[in-house]
Amino acid sequence: MNTYLILYDLKGNEPRNDYFRVIMAIQSLGEVEKVQYSNWIVYTSLNEVQIRERLKPFIDNYDSLFIARFDAYASYNVPIKVINLINRSWNKFVGLFKAN
C-alpha cells in the first residue's frame, strides 16, 4: 500500500457532472481524503500507472491529471484527516500544520 497525491484540472466550462464523475472515480481507488478543491490524498494498493488508467476515462483531452507517490512532506493548515491518512504510510514526517 502506498500514498499518492492526485491533482487534476478540468479546464474550460466543465459541467458539474464532470467533476462529480472524477471525484467518484478517485474515491473508488482506496482510502481518500480531499486536501483542496482538486487535490486528493489516496492510500491504495494500486500504483501510479494503474491510478492514471483508472482516472483517464473521466479526464478530457484538454484537462490535466498528475499523480505522485512520495515519502516526505511539509504542510500548514491542512485538515487533520489528511495528515492522519498520510502518516499511515509515509516514512518521513516534516509536518508543520494547524489542524482545522
pLDDT class of 22 with cuts at 50, 70, 90? very high
| 2-11 per-position pLDDT tens digit | 889 999 988 8
Q: Is 25 left (phi over 0), alpha (psi -120 to 50) or beta?
A: alpha
Q: Calculate helix-pair angle for 16-27, 48-55, nearest 10 degrees.
A: 150
DSSP state letters, 32-90: EEEEETTEEEEEESS-HHHHHHHHGGGS-TTSEEEEEE-S----SS--HHHHHHHHTT-
**Ranges of each domain in the chain:** 2-72
Considering the chain, what percentage of its residues have pLDDT values greater than 90? 44
pTM score above 0.85: no
Q: Cell match 494500486: residue?
A: 46
Specify the 3-state DSSP secondary structure of 30: coil
Average pLDDT over residues 61-65: 89
What is the chain's mean pLDDT, rounded? 83
Pick the CATH number of 2-72 from 3.30.465.10, 3.20.20.100, 3.30.70.240, 3.30.420.10: 3.30.70.240
Taking CA atoms, 9 is separated from 2, 3, 4, 37, 87, in Å, by: 23, 20, 17, 10, 26
Residue 89 pLDDT grade (very low, low, confident, very high; cuts 50, 70, 90): low
- If you average pLDDT over residues 6-28, what whole number do you get? 86
Q: What is residue 93's predicted lDDT score, i.e. its pLDDT?
A: 45
pLDDT category of residue 98 using cuts at 50, 70 and 90 = very low
